[in-house]
Amino acid sequence: MTVRGEVESAIERWVNAGVLDRGIAERIRSFERQYAPAKGLNWPAILAVVFGVVMLGAGLLLFVAAHWDELSPAWRFTLVLALVAAFHIGGAFATTRSERLATAFHALGTATLGAGIFLAGQIFHLDEHWPGGLMLWALGAWVGWYLLRDWVQAGLAALLTPAWLAGEWTVATDRFWGERILTEGLLLLAIVYFTAQTRTHSSPLRRTLKWIGGIALIPTVFMVAESGWSYYGRPLPASMKVLGWLGAIGLPLALAAILHRREAWITAIAAVWVVILGTLPRPWGDHYSETLLQFAWRALGPFLWYALGSVGMIAWGLYEQRKERVNFGIAGFALSVLAFYFSSVMDKLGRSTSLIMLGVLFLLGGWYLEKTRRRLVARVAGASQ
């Protein structure tokens, strides 16, 4: 059994700082190797807990839905509150028996809170400001994190708070063209989340943010690419535009300053990349009145910018000694090359020629990228030892 990553990094940091000597460090590692197997559940047990709690919650919600029409509004509201309370009480009782089971119950309780908030609006026929429901749900997640210090509650808060702000912006700009500001803010926030785990700071919360950001990165890149050419509605007033950009760029940069401190300047460079990305032309579509230079820029410019961002993520991973950033940067570079081929090259070749070229691209390009990835990951692993 190996020593957990956060413990190993802490031991190395203390040894390098002279706080511990090598003998004591090895004794700590030996103790952690003996202690680690007894500390957690194995994967079958974890899957059983997750699926068991999800099935329990789904069954209760289906039971309530089946009898929904037979209940009065007062009973409906009471049932919704009882479900939220029951899950959190179950989590409180499970705390002394299984930490993971308690975490799952509390997570289900906070998830049910959101359903309760919106069902309460439906029960009493409330036609109010709908982002307010997301605000209350996010507030419940923040309260849960404050009381429990639970990474799941923090993850829910990290998802619901941007969802609330995005909802407020969507309602405020309903008749204006404000989609680009929103999508660029979400992309920059995804980058901040993805890079939350650093070489010196690793915790369950930061790992949760890393996963959220990693899942959201590629979709938000496409959203930014599309939103830059969406002209639905009137232009934003100057005051609203300034407020929107301050929120879209300023809030993620403030979070980056909290997470990265002196290294937050790298996130500022990423913010510049995001803003420029939203101004690039779309490589697809019909453009009849463009010059040769405009055509070349439309066909190459966006993909070169995607590739530059991927290379930047690789460099960031090498600097911070994070393998997931190197892997993601390599994947992003490969997607940029493939997107360029499909949008600007494939339709200009014959069917057989295009397939042959695509096969060569996958074989040779994939082999070279995998070779490069392994070399870079080995470099990161060697630097972190």
Choosing from 213, 237, 265, the residue where a domain stops is: 265
Contact (CB, 8 A) for 321 and 384:
yes
Q: Are residues 239 and 299 in the same domain?
A: no
The answer to whether 231 and 167 have CB atoms below 8 angstroms apart is: no
Q: How confident is the model at residue 308 (pLDDT cuts 50, 70, 90)?
A: very high
SS3 234: strand
Assess whether 247 and 292 both reside in one domain. Answer: no
More confident residue, 230 or 72: 72
Query: Is the same domain home to 285 and 261?
Result: no
pLDDT band at residue 22 under the 50/70/90 scheme: confident
180 occurs within a structural domain:
yes
Q: Which of 37-46, 129-138, 260-269 has the lowest mean pLDDT?
A: 37-46
Q: How confident is the model at residue 50 (pLDDT cuts 50, 70, 90)?
A: low
End residue of a domain, out of 210, 237, 265: 265
pLDDT at 128 over 60: yes
**H runs (alpha helix) in the chain:** 5-16, 22-39, 43-66, 73-94, 99-123, 131-148, 151-172, 179-194, 204-227, 238-245, 251-260, 265-277, 292-320, 323-340, 351-360, 366-384
For residue 164, give the H/E element and its range.
Answer: helix 151-172
Mean of pLDDT values over 337-361: 77
Q: Which of 2-11, 188-197, 200-209, 256-265 has the highest mean pLDDT?
A: 188-197
Residue 364 shares a structural domain with residue 313? yes
With respect to residue 335, please indicate whether it lies within any of the assigned structural domains. yes
Distance CA 32, CA 22 (A): 15
Q: Is there a single domain that holds both residue 242 and residue 310?
A: no
The structural domain count of the chain equals 2
Please report, rounded to a whole number, the percentage of residues in the chain having pLDDT higher than 90: 22
Domain housing 196? 175-265
Whether 191 maps to a domain, the answer reads yes
In this structure, how many other beta carbons lie within 10 angstroms of the beta carbon of residue 65?
A: 9
Q: What is the mean pLDDT of residues 115-140?
A: 77
Q: What is the tens place of the pLDDT at every residue in 142-157? A: 999 998 888 889 999 9
With cut-offs at 50, 70 and 90, classify the pLDDT of residue 224. confident
Q: Are residues 285 and 349 part of one domain? A: yes
CA–CA separation, 145 vs 23, rounded Å? 38
Is residue 301 domain-resident? Answer: yes
- Same domain for 325 and 300: yes
Indicate whether 300 belongs to any domain: yes
Q: Are residues 319 and 243 in the same domain?
A: no
Task: Quick: pLDDT tens for 274-306.
Answer: 999 888 877 655 555 566 666 667 778 888 899
Last residue of a domain, one of 204, 236, 265: 265
Return the SS3 of 235. Answer: coil
Structure tokens at 77: 């509201």
Residue 338's alpha-carbon distances to 187, 309, 346, in angstroms, are 21, 15, 10
Kindly state whether residue 255 falls inside one of the protein's structural domains: yes
Task: Report d(CA 288, CA 268) in Å as an integer.
Answer: 37
Quick one: pLDDT at residue 104?
A: 81
Given a cut of 50, whether residue 39 has pLDDT beyond it is no
> Is the model more confident about 292 or about 108?
108
Per-residue pLDDT at 53: 67
Q: Are residues 234 and 296 in the same domain?
A: no
Angle, alpha carbons 142-147-150 (nearest 5°): 75
Output the DSSP codes for 51-67. HHHHHHHHHHHHHHHHT
The CA-atom distances, in angstroms, between 233 and each of 175, 182, 225, 236, 246 are: 5, 15, 18, 9, 21
112: in domain = no
Q: Are 324 and 379 contained in the same domain? A: yes
Q: Are residues 361 and 303 in the same domain?
A: yes
Q: How many CA atoms lie within 13 A of 160 on its CB side?
A: 25
Classify residue 40: in a domain, yes or no. Answer: no
What does pTM read for this prediction?
0.77
Please indicate, yes or no, whether residues 372 and 346 belong to a single structural domain of this protein. yes
Q: What is the mean pLDDT of the chain?
A: 80
